A and B are shown apart, each in its own frame.
Chain A
Amino acid sequence: MVRVSSWGRLNAEEHDARALTSTQDVARTLRESAPGIAYGLGRSYGDVCLNPGGTLWRTTGLDHFIAFDEITGVLVCEAGVVLRDIQRMTLPRGWSLPVTPGTQLVTVGGAIANDVHGKNHHKFGTFGDHVRSLKIVRTDGSELDCGPNLRPEYFAATVGGIGLTGFITQAEIQLRRVPGPWFETETVSFLNLDEFFALSIESDSGWEDSVSWIDCVGGGNGRGLFMRGNPVTVDAKPEPRRRSIAMPVVPPISMVNQMSLKAFNAAYFKINKHRSGKQLTHYEPFLYPLDNILDWNRMYGPHGFYQYQSVVPRENERDVTGAMLREIARSGQGSFLAVLKTFGERSPIGMLSFPRPGVTLALDFPNRGEETLKLLDRLDAIVREAGGRIYLAKDARMSIDMFESGYPRFPELQQYRDPGMSSAMSRRLLGN
């Protein structure tokens, strides 16, 4: 038994963790050790990838490429392949994953099971929109294929299905043509939410990628920095050297508190406000700004942190976001990692996929126990009232009511479930 955490580091319970290294062993291992849940790089924040006291199947050894067609851009690979390795292999050949989240240190299987999205959601939808087919092994040892045109209901249950329909061994993904590793980027400051929404509308047509950092404590009504980018052709510019630093230890208390937060946010806003204008940026720092700080999640100290990501519908997105920011500012909690983005109109494939038309807000909260949980419950009430929902990949604490109101298609999932797949989250929200 080994202690395993997810990215939020809220706990580290013992698991029977079994490393898979060959797809031919998957069926036997699942039959022998079910029930359990697949665990990739552990980058989801809450309990979606955990199964305390039970089995975890570690997928990072299933990291083989199977085929890549440089003419069509179709990639076939095992589910433990890391998105970074795909990007580094295909970009020099002119192809890129169409959708990646804010870190490329996630596995293909995790990206599908959580149907992740990125800064270009308004153009390219979610990761699942680009999956052509999947191979799945169930815990009874049976295998099946699915895709948008093959067992489409099973596919819709699996994409965003938080690992509950079986074990994904292999995926076929349609990549997109890109001119190279460079982005033309621009940072524009905004002083309030009205300016944010205006920038967002203005950027939707001309910019592929957009995301905003928002100051959740100071500056009244939501000041922040709007960052946008487009891939561009640049001739013969050498790629920057890759450097990374690490958070070497877990500090005894969170480095993020009210004082450090106010000072940091004010400084960050002021420095970047004057750095406006267009720049040329390599895709790695632009798309995955935190990937060069290894183990950054340790900065919240021994008690870990909650990440809260909500989406609320367009109708009253301005007022609802304002209400949430006021609630957070009043609580004095939060972190400098606060992100605001509008989603596009495309509805996702998955029955439990998170994105929907509207605006999404994502924030870290250092875990201060009851005080933090109460704040998150108050935020839930606002989101629920507005008809929104919480991202399962980030969640460790929402109530069953909140889940059921946010994900009305959850009963459909049940008929496609693999009874041998069970996680802390599935037991918390689905009862088994």
Chain B
Amino acid sequence: MRRILIVGATSAIAEQCARIWVKDSAVALTLVGRDREKIEALRVDLAVRSPHSVIHTETLDFLDPVAIAELAKRTSLDGPLDIVLIAHGNLPTQESSEQDLSIASSTLMLNGISPVLFAEAFAGLCAIADHGTLAIIGSVAGDRGRRANYVYGSAKALVAHYAAGLQHRFAETNVKVVLIKPGPTATPMTADLQQQGRRLARAEKVAAQIVKAIDTGKPVLYTPSIWQPIMFIIKHLPQRIFIKLKV
């Protein structure tokens, strides 16, 4: 049975990934979340879909390095993990971060520091086992700072920078690191964008591409794939042109 651990498992994209994994075959799954009731609803749902899977839940403070280290230690007792997916995040509006530094701070912590701490904790386990795929959800927003979401985007840029370093570290080993950069996806996190009538990618579709990228160990995944050329252009636009764009 494959052993999979998902941090931020109740996020819409992570939940769809979990559904794909349990559908393919019975798995040993650890669901890590913040809200006990939501994570339990998710566990029950996956158990109905896959009665032969073994599913555990964990809840903890996502900003507590000691709790994160302890989680990794507990997990290691059952043997090496095959897949770790780090998927949590939140997206307050850029204006709220500008007006309230505590919102800016929590945005940076939850989208930047916290995923890195989880990744570092599980990278240690993967290194010892010389086995496993570590997948981290970044964002296209991390590719270039823009006025619409630069606080969130800079946290995601931190994740991207970290993932690149981790890939370098594991280059000569059997550990793989996958950085996922979704475009705006129809999830609860983007409710405001959806209210503005933006047509967003479906979480099921994004999840299917993530599962595939994890299977192949693709270093960087833009999903949906149209974001790869879009972000290539945005990253390479000269500054004097870029700052005039309303993106």
Residues of A within 8 A of B (CB): 1-3, 16-19, 21-24, 61, 64-68, 70, 89
CA distance A22 to B196 in the complex (A): 22
Q: What residues of A have a CB within 8 angstroms of the CB of B188 in the complex?
A: 19, 21, 61
CA distance A63 to B132 in the complex (A): 31
Closest to A68 in B: B48
Q: What residues of A have a CB within 8 angstroms of the CB of B38 in the complex?
A: 22, 24
Residue B205 at the chain A interface, CB threshold 8 Å: no
CA distance A21 to B51 in the complex (A): 23
A65 and B195 in contact (CB under 8 A), knowing A22-B38, A24-B37? no
Instruction: Jot down 25 A-B pairs with beta carbons below 8 A, ordered by A.
Output: A1-B195, A1-B197, A2-B197, A3-B197, A19-B191, A19-B194, A21-B12, A21-B188, A22-B37, A23-B41, A24-B37, A24-B38, A61-B12, A64-B41, A64-B42, A64-B44, A65-B45, A65-B49, A66-B45, A66-B48, A67-B44, A67-B48, A68-B48, A70-B51, A89-B49
Q: What residues of B have a CB within 8 angstroms of the CB of A18 in the complex?
A: 191
Most chain A CB atoms below 10 A, which of B37, B45, B194: B45
CA distance A111 to B188 in the complex (A): 25
Q: What residues of A have a CB within 8 angstroms of the CB of B51 in the complex?
A: 70
A22 and B195 in contact (CB under 8 A), knowing A65-B48, A67-B48? no
B1-37: which residues lie under 8 A (CB-CB) from chain A? 12, 37
The 3 closest A-B pairs by CB, nearest first: A65-B48, A64-B45, A2-B197
Q: What residues of B have a CB within 8 angstroms of the CB of A21 in the complex?
A: 12, 188
Output the least CB separation between B169 and chain A (Å).
36
Output the least CB separation between A252 and chain B (Å).
21
CA distance A2 to B197 in the complex (A): 5
Closest to B37 in A: A24
Output the least CB separation between A94 and chain B (Å).
13
CA distance A17 to B192 in the complex (A): 10
Q: What residues of B have a CB within 8 angstroms of the CB of A70 in the complex?
A: 51
A2 and B44 in contact (CB under 8 A), knowing A21-B188, A24-B37, A61-B188? no
Closest to B195 in A: A2
Q: A2-B196, A19-B191, A61-B12 provided; 4 other pairs, C-beta below 8 A?
A: A1-B195, A19-B194, A21-B188, A66-B41
Output the least CB separation between A42 and chain B (Å).
14
User: Interface 1/0s, chain B 168-212, versus A by CB < 8 A?
Assistant: 000000000000000000001001001111000000000000000
A65 and B44 in contact (CB under 8 A), knowing A19-B194, A21-B12? yes
Residue from the list A17, A24, A61, A68 in contact with B195, Cβ < 8 A: A17
Q: What residues of B have a CB within 8 angstroms of the CB of A65 in the complex?
A: 44-45, 48-49
Contact (Cβ within 8 A) A66 B197 = no
CA distance A70 to B42 in the complex (A): 20
CA distance A70 to B48 in the complex (A): 10
Q: What residues of A have a CB within 8 angstroms of the CB of B194 in the complex?
A: 2, 17, 19
Contact (Cβ within 8 A) A22 B41 = yes
CA distance A17 to B45 in the complex (A): 25
Closest to A90 in B: B48
CA distance A3 to B196 in the complex (A): 10
A66 and B44 in contact (CB under 8 A), knowing A2-B195, A19-B188, A22-B38? yes
Q: What residues of B have a CB within 8 angstroms of the CB of A1 in the complex?
A: 195, 197
Q: What residues of A have a CB within 8 angstroms of the CB of B37 in the complex?
A: 22, 24
Output the least CB separation between A348 and chain B (Å).
29
Most chain B CB atoms below 10 A, which of A2, A16, A22, A64: A64
Closest to A81 in B: B45
Closest to B190 in A: A19
Q: What residues of B have a CB within 8 angstroms of the CB of A17 in the complex?
A: 194-195
CA distance A2 to B196 in the complex (A): 6
Q: What residues of B have a CB within 8 angstroms of the CB of A2 in the complex?
A: 194-197
CA distance A2 to B186 in the complex (A): 14
Q: What residues of A have a CB within 8 angstroms of the CB of B42 in the complex?
A: 64
Q: What residues of A have a CB within 8 angstroms of the CB of B12 in the complex?
A: 21, 61
Most chain A CB atoms below 10 A, which of B37, B188, B196: B188
Closest to A63 in B: B45
Output the least CB separation between A310 and chain B (Å).
36
CA distance A24 to B196 in the complex (A): 25
CA distance A14 to B162 in the complex (A): 43
Q: What residues of B have a CB within 8 angstroms of the CB of A23 in the complex?
A: 41
B42-95: which residues lie under 8 A (CB-CB) from chain A? 42, 44-45, 48-49, 51
CA distance A16 to B196 in the complex (A): 10
Q: What residues of B have a CB within 8 angstroms of the CB of A89 in the complex?
A: 48-49
CA distance A66 to B44 in the complex (A): 6
Closest to B46 in A: A65
CA distance A23 to B37 in the complex (A): 10
Q: What residues of B have a CB within 8 angstroms of the CB of A3 in the complex?
A: 197
Output the least CB separation between A6 and chain B (Å).
17
